[in-house]
Amino acid sequence: MAMCWAAGLGVATAQAPHAHADPVAYLVNVTVRPGYGFPNADAALGYGYGICDKLSGGEGYGQLIGDLQADFHTADDYQASYLITQSVNELCPALIWRLRNSAAHDWPPPRDDG
């Protein structure tokens, strides 16, 4: 009876759509942008899925940033952050909430540019 009542009012009773991975969008976004130098699409996808695995395994945002900076020999926080967000947004969108929660509580230490 409640279902008929909700349908009669035009209330949406379906669940929200699930997020789906988009490896093509990920490849376009990380292979066009300079700085990563992946030798091929498989290497780029493997690295991105590795980020997803680390995040799902409990690694935090700060540790992911550090890993990427070491792997790509850079101190550029934006370059590291960009690859992390592209990986999560396009390859494992179900983990977006985990990344956001981790990033909100995990600030890198201030730099001494002195």
Domain extents in the chain: 41-102
- With 0-12 / 13-18 / 19 or more C-beta atoms within 10 angstroms meaning exposed / middle / buried, residue 15 is exposed
pLDDT at 69: 94
Is there a contact between 64 and 47 (Cβ–Cβ < 8 Å)? no
pLDDT at 12: 45
The answer to whether the predicted template modeling score (pTM) of the entire model surpasses 0.85 is no
pLDDT at 19: 61
Phi first, then psi, for residue 100 (nearest 5°) are: -60, -45
pLDDT at 108: 59
Going from the first residue of the chain to its last (114 residues), give the mean pLDDT of each consecutive group of 10, the final group possibly shorter.
44 50 91 87 96 96 94 92 95 94 75 61
pLDDT at 4: 44
pLDDT at 99: 94
* Residue whose C-alpha is closest to residue 84's, from 48, 41, 34: 48
pLDDT at 107: 63
pLDDT at 112: 64
